[in-house]
Amino acid sequence: MRRVLAHDLQCRKLGGHSAATKRTLKLVLARRGGSVSSQTAIDGPTLVREWNGRIYRVDVSPEGYALDGKSYGSVSAVARHITGAHWSGPRFFGLSEKRRA
């Protein structure tokens, strides 16, 4: 439930889903009904993070992660590029919870 609420809050704060995400959701729904060809390309998920006043959108694919036309092998490498410091990529993008002492 926390993830759902966090996602909803992020969508409200950053203006909702991108056009690519909306297209993907429509295609997935159509596929469940069987009306879309299985050869239709679907965009992968997009990670969104605001850092120092700029919003970064990272495209996720089976080949890796893409930011501003450059490919990265891990989400941590993307976080390091954005911040200039070592970060846990999943933690930077809010994909994992903080450990509690």
Write down the mean pLDDT value for the chain: 78
Two tokens at 93? 């993008």
> What confidence category does residue 31 fall into, taking pLDDT thresholds of 50, 70 and 90?
low
What's the pLDDT at 41? Answer: 39
pLDDT in tens, 46-66: 888 999 999 999 988 888 899
What's the pLDDT at 10? Answer: 79
pLDDT in tens, 70-93: 999 999 999 999 999 998 998 898
Q: pTM for the whole thing? A: 0.54
User: φ, ψ for residue 85 (rounded to 5)?
Assistant: -135, 165
Three-class SS of the chain:
CHHHHHHHHHHHHHCCCCHHHHHHHHHHHHHHHCCCCCCCCCCCCEEEEEECCEEEEEEEECCEEEECCEEECCHHHHHHHHHCCCCCHHHHCCCCCCCCC
